[in-house]
């Protein structure tokens, strides 16, 4: 009976682990509740209609070699480390000798259930499409409104959270509004929409150099967006936004990008931090009490009190490392040395033709057209599959070239 390696999650980390295990002397099964790998760094563009969901979703069966690595569509209900078994919602239980947990993260509403019910977020294809539909629907409702304050509420968009996702989404939304306003809703030229970014800290884009943080804030203001620093949203009922520093504000749409936490199953593992849900491991990314369980990607806590970044390059490197470690164990080889992360740098796009880029090991800090071109190149290169690259390129040609919008379809909201 061959050994069983089980990978939970088909995101960047899980896929990298699966590829590192290709050809290893074991049965490898990757489990995901979606049948596709999602290129999450571009998901905010689905929410603003710049990209079709299909352009960044790639079928997992097409990415995994069917003769080597099995795919199982299923929702994981529970992990039983003592029995070395994973239970699926569909009823089956899968046994393992090695388990790689790559379940990623979920939106963190910090226990605010009313806010969670009414806010829009960007943590999956359906949610991003729902956000896009809501934005377009808000414009439709605003055009047919006869009451001025109701119209203003439909035309007010609040973004909570000024990290990379919040900044990229806000600038894209502002560009979308400028385009839609001009072309589709001539009646609204008299009532300009309002976009307000609410950020807890005193700067956008934590971790970036101050000059780049200021470039991002400057860009948002140049596109007629507002920013509120040092402020937290405290309540939202679908209409009134309450915050720590401003008067209550009427807004029909609140987009929440203010926090993530590890997947609930990761957070239930021994050693998980109660707040972030992230798990501390040994230097080989194994759970101390269960060295046959690896945790990779967003669910991993960090080392020496420093948290790992929850970004795609980290997910890929940690996933690949865990796959290689399992392969070495199966082959009876020496395990690799402690995991180390090589930071390739960070990029955040600021609407059309603008971005900030910080690559510490090259001492590069730049923004503007050059950074945007670099961003386009890196993302097109990293999108998986020729078809998806082509689709993305056509979508962007429409967005940036024709100043249109690739997707304007309202599905549901």
- Rule CB under 8 A: which residues touch its own copies? 34-36, 52-54, 57, 59, 61-62, 66-67, 72-74, 90, 92, 125-126, 136-137, 140-141, 144, 183-186, 387, 390-391, 394, 398, 404, 406-412
Give me the least distance between CB of 409 and its own copies, in Å please. 5
Helix spans in 109-263 (H): 113-118, 125-144, 148-154, 164-183, 210-222
Contact between 67 and 24 (Cβ < 8 Å): no
C-alpha triplet 12, 17, 18: angle, nearest 5°: 100
What is the C-alpha separation between 83 and 189, in angstroms, rounded? 64
Closest distance to its own copies from the beta carbon of 238 (Å): 16
Whole-number minimum distance, CB 178 to its own copies, in Å?
16
To the nearest whole angstrom, how small is the minimum distance from the Cβ of residue 265 to its own copies? Answer: 20
Closest CA to 99 of 275, 283, 295: 295
CA distance 211 to 109: 30
- Which residue number, 289 or 390, has a Cβ lying nearer to its own copies? 390
Q: Of 137 and 400, which CB lies nearer to its own copies in the complex structure? A: 137
Residue (147 or 304) nearer to its own copies, CB: 147
Torsion over CA: 11, 412, 150, 154 (sign): positive
Q: Are 93 and 78 in contact (CB under 8 A)?
A: no
Of 168, 175, 214, 408, the catalytic one is 168
Q: Report the residue number, 127 or 209, with the smaller CB distance to its own copies.
A: 127
Helix (H, G, I), strand (E, B) or coil at 175: helix
Q: Tokens standing for 309?
A: 């970044």
Residue 168 appears among annotated catalytic residues = yes
Residue whose CB is less far from its own copies, 140 or 226: 140
Under 8 Å CB-to-CB from 67, ≥6 apart: which residues? Answer: none
Task: List C-alpha distances in Å: 303 to 50, 89, 289, 339.
Answer: 38, 33, 17, 10
Specify whether the CB–CB gap between 182 and 405 falls below 8 A: no
Q: Which residue has the tokens 């000024």?
A: 162
Name the minimum Å distance from CB 324 to its own copies: 27
Q: Which amino acids are annotated catalytic?
A: 168
């Amino acid at each position: 009976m061959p050994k069983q390696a089980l990978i939970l999650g088909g995101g960047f980390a899980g896929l990298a682990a699966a590829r590192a295990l290709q050809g290893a002397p074991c049965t490898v099964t990757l489990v995901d509740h979606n049948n596709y790998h999602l290129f999450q760094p571009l998901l905010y563009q689905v929410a603003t209609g710049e990209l079709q969901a299909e352009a960044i979703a790639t079928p997992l069966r097409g990415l995994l070699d069917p003769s080597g690595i099995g795919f199982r569509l299923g929702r994981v209900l529970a992990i039983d480390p003592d029995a070395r078994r994973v239970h699926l919602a569909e009823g089956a239980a899968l046994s393992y000798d090695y388990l790689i947990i790559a379940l990623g993260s979920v939106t963190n509403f910090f226990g605010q259930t009313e806010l969670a019910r009414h806010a829009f977020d960007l943590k999956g294809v359906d949610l991003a499409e729902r956000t896009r539909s809501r934005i377009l629907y808000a414009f439709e409702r605003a055009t047919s409104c006869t009451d001025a304050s109701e119209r203003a509420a439909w035309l007010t968009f609040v973004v909570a959270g000024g990290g990379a996702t919040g900044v990229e989404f806000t600038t894209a939304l502002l560009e979308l509004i400028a385009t839609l306003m001009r072309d589709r809703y001539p009646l609204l030229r008299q009532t300009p929409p309002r976009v307000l970014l609410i950020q807890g800290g005193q700067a956008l884009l934590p971790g970036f150099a101050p000059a780049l943080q200021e470039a991002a804030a400057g860009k948002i203001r140049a596109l007629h967006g507002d920013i509120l620093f040092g402020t937290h949203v405290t309540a939202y009922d679908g209409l009134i936004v309450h915050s720590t520093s401003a008067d209550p504000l009427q807004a029909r749409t609140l987009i929440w990008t203010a926090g993530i936490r590890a997947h609930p199953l990761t957070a239930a593992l021994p050693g998980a931090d109660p707040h972030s849900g992230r798990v501390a491991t040994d230097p080989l990314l194994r759970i101390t009490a269960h060295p046959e369980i690896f945790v990779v990607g967003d669910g991993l806590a960090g080392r020496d009190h420093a948290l790992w970044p929850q970004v795609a390059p980290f997910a890929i490197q940690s996933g690949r490392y865990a796959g290689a470690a399992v392969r070495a164990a199966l082959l009876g080889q020496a395990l690799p040395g402690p995991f180390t992360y090589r930071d390739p740098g960070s990029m955040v796009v600021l609407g059309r033709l603008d971005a900030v880029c910080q690559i510490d090991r090259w001492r590069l800090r730049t923004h503007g057209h050059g950074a945007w071109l670099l961003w386009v190149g890196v993302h097109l290169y990293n999108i998986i599959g020729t078809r998806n690259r082509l689709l993305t390129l056509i979508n962007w040609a429409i967005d940036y070239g024709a100043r249109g919008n690739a997707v304007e379809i309202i599905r549901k909201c």
